[in-house]
Amino acid sequence: MKKLIAANWKMSPASLYDAKDIFKKIRNVARGLRNVETVVCPPFVFLSDMSKMVRSVACTVGAQDVFWEDSGAYTGEISPGQLDRLGVRYVIVGHSERRALGEGDAVVNKKIKTCLRYGFKPILCVGELARDSNGAYLRFIKEQLVASLAKVAIKNPKNLIVTYEPVWAISSHHAGADTPESALEMSIYIRKVLSSVLGKRVALEVPILYGGSVDDVNAEGFLKTGGAQGFLVGRASLEPKKFVNILKIAEKTK
Ligand code: PGA
Protein backbone atom coordinates (compact mmCIF):
# COMPACT_ATOMS: atom_id res chain seq x y z
CA MET A 1 0.00 0.00 0.00
CA LYS A 2 1.18 3.52 -0.79
CA LYS A 3 2.25 5.63 2.16
CA LEU A 4 0.53 8.93 2.68
CA ILE A 5 2.70 11.84 3.73
CA ALA A 6 0.77 15.02 4.50
CA ALA A 7 2.45 18.37 5.06
CA ASN A 8 0.67 20.59 7.55
CA TRP A 9 2.03 24.08 6.94
CA LYS A 10 -0.22 25.60 9.62
CA MET A 11 0.03 29.43 9.34
CA SER A 12 3.32 29.42 7.35
CA PRO A 13 5.05 30.54 5.20
CA ALA A 14 4.69 34.32 5.29
CA SER A 15 4.30 34.91 1.52
CA LEU A 16 2.89 33.31 -1.61
CA TYR A 17 6.36 33.58 -3.12
CA ASP A 18 7.80 31.35 -0.39
CA ALA A 19 4.83 28.97 -0.55
CA LYS A 20 5.34 28.43 -4.29
CA ASP A 21 9.07 27.99 -3.86
CA ILE A 22 8.72 25.34 -1.15
CA PHE A 23 5.91 23.55 -2.99
CA LYS A 24 7.88 23.42 -6.23
CA LYS A 25 10.86 21.83 -4.49
CA ILE A 26 8.64 19.23 -2.82
CA ARG A 27 6.56 18.55 -5.92
CA ASN A 28 9.53 17.99 -8.19
CA VAL A 29 10.64 15.04 -6.07
CA ALA A 30 7.23 13.83 -4.90
CA ARG A 31 5.75 13.47 -8.39
CA GLY A 32 8.37 10.85 -9.27
CA LEU A 33 7.70 8.58 -6.27
CA ARG A 34 5.73 5.39 -6.78
CA ASN A 35 5.17 4.23 -3.21
CA VAL A 36 4.27 7.56 -1.65
CA GLU A 37 1.35 9.92 -2.04
CA THR A 38 2.18 13.46 -0.91
CA VAL A 39 -0.40 16.03 0.12
CA VAL A 40 0.64 19.57 0.98
CA CYS A 41 -1.86 21.51 3.11
CA PRO A 42 -1.03 25.23 2.93
CA PRO A 43 -2.93 28.14 4.49
CA PHE A 44 -6.18 28.73 2.56
CA VAL A 45 -4.92 31.95 0.93
CA PHE A 46 -2.27 30.01 -1.01
CA LEU A 47 -4.44 27.07 -1.97
CA SER A 48 -5.73 28.44 -5.27
CA ASP A 49 -2.27 29.37 -6.62
CA MET A 50 -0.74 26.15 -5.41
CA SER A 51 -3.50 23.99 -6.86
CA LYS A 52 -2.49 25.33 -10.30
CA MET A 53 1.01 23.99 -9.73
CA VAL A 54 -0.16 20.40 -9.22
CA ARG A 55 1.22 18.16 -12.00
CA SER A 56 0.42 14.67 -10.80
CA VAL A 57 -1.88 12.79 -8.43
CA ALA A 58 1.26 11.73 -6.59
CA CYS A 59 1.60 15.24 -5.13
CA THR A 60 -1.51 17.31 -4.58
CA VAL A 61 -2.79 20.03 -2.26
CA GLY A 62 -5.12 19.57 0.69
CA ALA A 63 -6.91 21.79 3.17
CA GLN A 64 -6.21 22.31 6.87
CA ASP A 65 -9.89 22.62 7.69
CA VAL A 66 -13.36 22.87 6.15
CA PHE A 67 -16.72 24.29 7.20
CA TRP A 68 -19.68 21.91 7.40
CA GLU A 69 -22.38 23.98 5.70
CA ASP A 70 -22.65 24.04 1.90
CA SER A 71 -23.42 27.77 1.74
CA GLY A 72 -24.77 30.63 3.79
CA ALA A 73 -23.77 33.59 5.94
CA TYR A 74 -20.70 32.29 7.80
CA THR A 75 -18.11 35.03 8.05
CA GLY A 76 -14.58 33.76 7.81
CA GLU A 77 -15.42 30.17 6.86
CA ILE A 78 -14.49 28.22 3.71
CA SER A 79 -17.15 26.01 2.12
CA PRO A 80 -16.60 22.43 0.99
CA GLY A 81 -17.72 23.37 -2.52
CA GLN A 82 -15.01 26.02 -2.75
CA LEU A 83 -12.40 23.42 -1.81
CA ASP A 84 -13.88 20.93 -4.26
CA ARG A 85 -13.48 23.39 -7.14
CA LEU A 86 -9.79 23.75 -6.27
CA GLY A 87 -9.27 20.03 -6.65
CA VAL A 88 -8.79 19.38 -2.93
CA ARG A 89 -9.09 15.67 -2.04
CA TYR A 90 -7.75 15.59 1.53
CA VAL A 91 -8.79 17.72 4.50
CA ILE A 92 -7.19 17.76 7.95
CA VAL A 93 -10.00 17.54 10.50
CA GLY A 94 -9.81 17.97 14.26
CA HIS A 95 -6.18 19.01 14.50
CA SER A 96 -5.26 19.59 18.15
CA GLU A 97 -4.46 23.23 17.44
CA ARG A 98 -8.04 23.75 16.27
CA ARG A 99 -9.36 21.77 19.22
CA ALA A 100 -7.31 24.06 21.50
CA LEU A 101 -9.20 27.01 19.96
CA GLY A 102 -12.50 25.48 21.02
CA GLU A 103 -13.39 22.93 18.34
CA GLY A 104 -15.08 19.99 20.02
CA ASP A 105 -15.82 16.45 18.87
CA ALA A 106 -19.35 17.41 17.77
CA VAL A 107 -17.95 19.92 15.28
CA VAL A 108 -15.27 17.45 14.20
CA ASN A 109 -18.05 14.92 13.57
CA LYS A 110 -19.94 17.37 11.33
CA LYS A 111 -16.77 18.11 9.38
CA ILE A 112 -16.02 14.41 8.89
CA LYS A 113 -19.52 13.89 7.50
CA THR A 114 -19.14 16.91 5.21
CA CYS A 115 -15.84 15.56 3.89
CA LEU A 116 -17.36 12.19 3.11
CA ARG A 117 -20.37 13.81 1.43
CA TYR A 118 -18.03 15.75 -0.88
CA GLY A 119 -15.68 12.87 -1.55
CA PHE A 120 -12.81 14.40 0.44
CA LYS A 121 -10.69 12.06 2.52
CA PRO A 122 -10.65 13.43 6.04
CA ILE A 123 -7.36 13.16 7.92
CA LEU A 124 -8.84 12.84 11.39
CA CYS A 125 -6.39 13.80 14.14
CA VAL A 126 -6.61 12.27 17.60
CA GLY A 127 -4.13 12.36 20.45
CA GLU A 128 -3.79 12.92 24.14
CA LEU A 129 -2.55 16.13 25.73
CA ALA A 130 -0.31 14.19 28.13
CA ARG A 131 0.49 10.61 29.13
CA ASP A 132 -0.49 9.39 32.57
CA SER A 133 0.16 6.13 34.38
CA ASN A 134 -3.47 5.12 34.95
CA GLY A 135 -4.54 4.96 31.32
CA ALA A 136 -6.74 8.06 31.26
CA TYR A 137 -5.11 9.02 27.96
CA LEU A 138 -6.43 5.84 26.37
CA ARG A 139 -9.97 6.70 27.42
CA PHE A 140 -9.45 10.22 26.09
CA ILE A 141 -8.48 8.92 22.64
CA LYS A 142 -11.33 6.43 22.66
CA GLU A 143 -13.79 9.22 23.41
CA GLN A 144 -12.34 11.38 20.65
CA LEU A 145 -12.72 8.56 18.12
CA VAL A 146 -16.19 7.48 19.22
CA ALA A 147 -17.59 11.03 19.23
CA SER A 148 -15.82 12.18 16.05
CA LEU A 149 -17.09 9.15 14.13
CA ALA A 150 -20.60 8.94 15.60
CA LYS A 151 -23.11 7.92 12.94
CA VAL A 152 -20.42 7.93 10.27
CA ALA A 153 -20.69 5.20 7.68
CA ILE A 154 -17.51 4.23 5.87
CA LYS A 155 -17.84 1.85 2.94
CA ASN A 156 -14.32 2.08 1.60
CA PRO A 157 -11.71 2.12 4.39
CA LYS A 158 -9.41 4.15 2.12
CA ASN A 159 -11.81 7.08 2.42
CA LEU A 160 -10.83 7.81 6.02
CA ILE A 161 -7.37 8.51 7.38
CA VAL A 162 -6.67 8.57 11.10
CA THR A 163 -3.59 10.32 12.46
CA TYR A 164 -2.31 9.50 15.90
CA GLU A 165 -0.79 12.76 16.97
CA PRO A 166 0.03 13.01 20.68
CA VAL A 167 -0.26 16.71 21.45
CA TRP A 168 2.78 16.73 23.72
CA ALA A 169 4.91 15.38 20.84
CA ILE A 170 4.09 18.22 18.43
CA SER A 171 7.27 20.20 17.82
CA SER A 172 5.92 23.42 19.32
CA HIS A 173 5.75 21.63 22.71
CA HIS A 174 9.49 20.80 22.59
CA ALA A 175 9.15 17.36 24.22
CA GLY A 176 10.24 15.49 21.09
CA ALA A 177 8.56 12.70 19.16
CA ASP A 178 6.88 9.62 20.60
CA THR A 179 8.82 6.36 20.27
CA PRO A 180 8.00 4.00 17.38
CA GLU A 181 7.16 1.24 19.90
CA SER A 182 4.59 3.35 21.68
CA ALA A 183 3.17 4.71 18.40
CA LEU A 184 2.67 1.09 17.32
CA GLU A 185 0.81 0.27 20.53
CA MET A 186 -1.38 3.31 19.99
CA SER A 187 -2.22 2.39 16.42
CA ILE A 188 -3.24 -1.09 17.59
CA TYR A 189 -5.40 0.50 20.26
CA ILE A 190 -6.92 2.91 17.72
CA ARG A 191 -7.81 -0.02 15.44
CA LYS A 192 -9.47 -1.77 18.36
CA VAL A 193 -11.65 1.28 19.02
CA LEU A 194 -12.33 1.74 15.31
CA SER A 195 -13.46 -1.85 15.13
CA SER A 196 -16.27 -1.18 17.61
CA VAL A 197 -17.24 2.07 15.86
CA LEU A 198 -16.86 1.23 12.17
CA GLY A 199 -16.67 -2.55 12.10
CA LYS A 200 -13.74 -4.92 11.92
CA ARG A 201 -13.11 -4.84 8.18
CA VAL A 202 -12.88 -1.06 8.00
CA ALA A 203 -10.84 -0.89 11.23
CA LEU A 204 -8.21 -3.23 9.86
CA GLU A 205 -7.76 -1.28 6.65
CA VAL A 206 -8.04 2.40 7.58
CA PRO A 207 -4.59 3.97 7.13
CA ILE A 208 -3.17 5.21 10.44
CA LEU A 209 -0.52 7.91 10.27
CA TYR A 210 1.77 9.21 12.96
CA GLY A 211 2.29 12.92 13.65
CA GLY A 212 4.41 14.80 16.15
CA SER A 213 7.98 16.03 15.52
CA VAL A 214 8.49 13.74 12.53
CA ASP A 215 11.77 14.48 10.76
CA ASP A 216 14.23 12.78 8.44
CA VAL A 217 16.03 11.20 11.41
CA ASN A 218 13.10 9.46 13.11
CA ALA A 219 10.87 8.77 10.06
CA GLU A 220 12.33 5.36 9.23
CA GLY A 221 11.73 4.04 12.76
CA PHE A 222 8.07 5.04 12.73
CA LEU A 223 7.57 3.34 9.38
CA LYS A 224 9.51 0.18 10.16
CA THR A 225 8.92 -0.39 13.87
CA GLY A 226 6.01 1.95 14.53
CA GLY A 227 3.77 0.50 11.84
CA ALA A 228 2.91 4.01 10.57
CA GLN A 229 1.35 4.07 7.11
CA GLY A 230 2.49 7.63 6.66
CA PHE A 231 2.90 10.91 8.47
CA LEU A 232 1.38 14.26 9.21
CA VAL A 233 4.40 16.55 9.24
CA GLY A 234 4.39 20.10 10.57
CA ARG A 235 7.66 21.93 11.05
CA ALA A 236 9.85 19.71 8.88
CA SER A 237 7.42 20.07 5.96
CA LEU A 238 8.43 23.72 5.57
CA GLU A 239 12.06 22.73 5.07
CA PRO A 240 12.09 21.23 1.56
CA LYS A 241 15.36 19.32 2.07
CA LYS A 242 14.14 17.62 5.24
CA PHE A 243 10.68 16.93 3.87
CA VAL A 244 12.00 15.51 0.63
CA ASN A 245 14.29 13.25 2.68
CA ILE A 246 11.23 11.99 4.58
CA LEU A 247 9.51 11.27 1.26
CA LYS A 248 12.54 9.37 -0.03
CA ILE A 249 12.77 7.34 3.18
CA ALA A 250 9.08 6.45 2.86
CA GLU A 251 9.59 5.52 -0.79
CA LYS A 252 12.18 2.88 0.03
CA THR A 253 10.87 1.61 3.40
CA LYS A 254 8.83 -1.53 3.02
P1 PGA B 1 5.16 18.95 13.94
O2 PGA B 1 3.61 19.23 13.72
O3 PGA B 1 5.62 18.01 12.87
O4 PGA B 1 5.80 20.32 13.83
O5 PGA B 1 5.32 18.36 15.31
C6 PGA B 1 2.74 18.19 13.40
C7 PGA B 1 1.34 18.71 13.41
O8 PGA B 1 0.98 19.54 14.26
O9 PGA B 1 0.52 18.30 12.55
pLDDT digits (tens, 9 = 90+) for 100-144: 999 999 999 999 999 999 999 999 999 999 999 999 999 999 999
* pLDDT recorded at residue 161: 98
Catalytic residue status for 173: no
What separation in Å is there between the alpha carbon of 42 and the centre of ligand 1?
13
Please return the burial class of 205, using the count of CB atoms within 10 Å of its CB with bins 0-12, 13-18 and 19+. middle
* pLDDT recorded at residue 87: 95
Among candidate residues 69, 77, 95, 173, the one labeled active-site is 95
Q: What is the mean pLDDT of residues 84-105?
A: 97
Which DSSP category does 236 fall into?
G
For the chain, how big is the Rg over CA atoms in Å?
17
Nearest to 53 by CA among 37, 34, 30, 81: 30
The phi-psi region of residue 213 (left if phi > 0; otherwise alpha if psi is between -120 and 50; otherwise beta) is left
Give alpha helix (H) positions in the chain. Answer: 16-30, 44-51, 80-85, 96-99, 105-118, 136-148, 180-198, 200-205, 219-224, 240-252
Q: What is the mean pLDDT of residues 3-18?
A: 98
* pLDDT recorded at residue 156: 95
Q: How many helices (H) and strands (E) does the chain have?
A: 10, 8
- Confidence band for 10, pLDDT divided at 50, 70 and 90: very high
Which DSSP category does 172 fall into?
G
* pLDDT recorded at residue 37: 98
Nearest to 127 by CA among 113, 143, 116: 143
Percent of the chain past pLDDT 90, that is, above it, reads: 99
Report d(CA 246, CA 171) in Å as an integer. Answer: 16
- For strands 36-41 and 208-211, give the pairing: unpaired
- Confidence band for 231, pLDDT divided at 50, 70 and 90: very high
pLDDT digits (tens, 9 = 90+) for 161-184: 999 999 999 999 989 999 999 999
Q: What is the mean pLDDT of residues 222-232?
A: 97
What separation in Å is there between the alpha carbon of 157 and the centre of ligand 1?
24
- Confidence band for 254, pLDDT divided at 50, 70 and 90: confident
* pLDDT recorded at residue 162: 98
Sheet holding 161-164, edge to edge: 59-61, 36-41, 3-8, 230-233, 208-211, 161-164, 121-126, 90-93
Nearest protein Cα to ligand 1, atom 2 = 234
State yes or no: pLDDT of 16 exceeds 90: yes
Nearest protein Cα to ligand 1, atom 9 = 234
Q: 10 Å Cβ neighbour count for 117?
A: 11
Catalytic residue status for 143: no
